[in-house]
Structure 1
Amino acid sequence: MTVVNRKIVPFLWFDKVSDEAVNHYLSAFPSSSLRRATTLPETPSGVVEIFAVDLLDSEFNLMSAGPEFKFTPAISFLVACSSAAEVDTIWQQLVPGGSVLMELGSYPFSERFGWLQDKFGVSWQIMFTGQQPIPQRMIPFLMFTGAQCGRAEEAIQFYTSIFPNSGVEDIQRYQKGEEPDQPGSVKYSEFKLYGQSFAAMDSAYDHGFTFNEAISFVVNCETQEEIDYYWEKLSADPEAEMCGWLKDRFGVSWQIVPTIMYEMQQTKDADRLARVTEAFLQMKKFDIAALQRVYEGG
């Protein structure tokens, strides 16, 4: 049986290098491991590979499925470190071939911090937090830019109203004199969804990027009732609905996925896998009963 350790899991869409990225991240982050690997035949993107990995204390999904989407810093991952030395070690693993967004150094909020895009385009904020113990090592970080700038607080309130065991942990606001950001908008906020930590901020600078499907969030669901609930609450763009994917009113992409599908995709029966893959590719919102019927040959 496939064990799911997180309700919400970041999902990264690569072109054709996710297997290389898996090995790179497993070596860059301590206490990391490959959870499972899945190959899906005959999709619109050709043969698709999906890897589930544990990096530090968090599960990530990495998919190799073509060049449709490019990573941007609109969603990055804050890596909470126990020492300045650990910051430096992880930085040295990730920075080769990438680009520096904020130089590694001392800042008012951390004595050791740096922000980079790695050679695959994924953004990481690596920070010494000073916390002992660290409650969560990998924190998804959403930056609201462009047309979404100024909506971070609205999004936080929206998300925390949907998921149980959620709430705002901290919120810091821009002050007068920090233009172009508007006073009162979110400079930094940390919040929990289903007990998992997330962070968000507004940024009024002209970044030239916003959210896209390169990074989405999988919501693992045990029942059809859960799938129906999250689909109804989150989906705001009917044209973006396909194969369990949806886009919310802020442009953030989510996947509402039944956990039983992971077990179906691990089958050694090629015919079963082909039937399930063909079936879910035709669905928008996933139908667990229909997937089970197809899996069993009905």
Structure 2
Amino acid sequence: MQKLTVNLWMQGTAGEAGEFYAAALPEAKTEIESRYPTEGLLDFQQPLAGKPLTVSVWVRGTKITLINAGEEFAPNASISMILSFNTDERDVLDATWAALAEGGSVLMPLDTYDFSSRYGWVSDKYGVSWQLMESAEPVSENARVMPCLMFGGQAQNRAAEAIEFYGQVLGAKLESAFPYGQATEVATAESLMFAQFSLAEDAVAAMDSGVRQDFSFTPGVSLEWPCDGQEEIDRVWEALSAVPEAEACGWLTDKFGVSWQIVPSNMGELMERPGAFEHMLNMKKLVINDF
């Protein structure tokens, strides 16, 4: 059962982006999950009154959330989504690539590489980064759609440290790790060329960039983690939050720069309470009794 959810910041385009992904991605569908209220909004949110707030996209059963917001942030390649395909799905892979590449930009051409017989990395027209990969081995269900954290810029060479830290705080378990073996422009020999770890039943990839990057993690892509009860919210929040000025409405930034949304497991139910959205705007860490 999925626990970790990737949230993508959309600059007022969540509705149209949801329709785009439903058509472009394999076995995908979309739904408007929530809307902005018409009252209790901050001034900068007034143009969004009554419009979609969160749009859900399910890709092969994995949920991705699109957040409809302003122009403050945008996705970048520091967190991408890996779509893995079996060898008998090449037509699907190629069709998905063509759809995502239209209006976007290619980061690594769709081609044969040492690590995959068919692979490409593309940033779509909304700035969301996707890695499409053909696998010679059967792909497990939980790894067919998974986020990949690329540690570059100020977070360069901290992938292994991050996985260990997430193990302490969130119970992450390392599944596999492949170091570079020899130094690159910015990576050390011990840095991770690729690693995969699990958070609950969800698969997550991590890597240290092999080349110099002028960007790193931002709230443009955030990771949502549900907690059972206030005590667990308090524990995770205290352990993860490293940038006090970034704390708002359940959002925090950890010591690597990764943005997280730490929410109650019954967040949907809480948001149905009268005035819940306005109450949430006044919180940093979410307090269940204050909804």
Length-normalised TM-score, structure 1: 0.89
Aligned length: 280
Deviation at 1:35, TM superposition (A): 5.0
Q: Is the counterpart of residue 71 in structure 1 residue 72 in structure 2?
A: no
Give the whole-Å Cα distance in 1 for the aligned partners of 2:85 and 2:20: 19
- More displaced stretch, 172-181 vs 56-65: 172-181
C-alpha distance 180-234 of structure 1, shift in aligned 2 (>3 A): closer
Deviation at 1:260, TM superposition (A): 2.4
State which of 211, 234, 237 in structure 1 corresponds to 2:240: 234
Deviation at 1:51, TM superposition (A): 1.1
1:285 counterpart residue number: 285
Length-normalised TM-score, structure 2: 0.91
2:140 counterpart residue number: 134
Give the whole-Å Cα distance in 2 for the aligned partners of 1:36 and 1:231: 28
Give the whole-Å Cα distance in 1 for the aligned partners of 2:139 and 2:258: 31
State which of 52, 55, 79 in structure 2 corresponds to 1:51: 55
Give the whole-Å Cα distance in 1 for the aligned partners of 2:267 and 2:173: 30
RMSD of aligned Cα (Å)? 1.7
Determine if contact 1:80/1:128 at 8 Å carries over to the other structure.
yes
State which of 234, 245, 253 in structure 2 corresponds to 1:247: 253
Unaligned segments of structure 2, at least 5 residues: none
Give the whole-Å Cα distance in 1 for the aligned partners of 2:163 and 2:284: 26
Determine if contact 2:193/2:210 at 8 Å carries over to the other structure.
no
Identity %: 38
C-alpha distance 211-133 of structure 1, shift in aligned 2 (>3 A): closer
Q: Is the counterpart of residue 210 in structure 1 residue 206 in structure 2?
A: no
Give the whole-Å Cα distance in 1 for the aligned partners of 2:53 and 2:148: 25
Deviation at 1:55, TM superposition (A): 1.3
Deviation at 1:54, TM superposition (A): 1.3
Unaligned segments of structure 1, at least 5 residues: 292-298
Structure 1: which amino acid aligns with 2:7? F
Deviation at 1:13, TM superposition (A): 0.8
Deviation at 1:161, TM superposition (A): 1.9
Determine if contact 2:241/2:252 at 8 Å carries over to the other structure.
yes
C-alpha distance 229-36 of structure 1, shift in aligned 2 (>3 A): farther
Determine if contact 2:185/2:211 at 8 Å carries over to the other structure.
no
C-alpha distance 259-40 of structure 1, shift in aligned 2 (>3 A): farther
Q: Is the counterpart of residue 20 in structure 1 residue 16 in structure 2?
A: yes
1:157 counterpart residue number: 164
Deviation at 1:205, TM superposition (A): 2.2
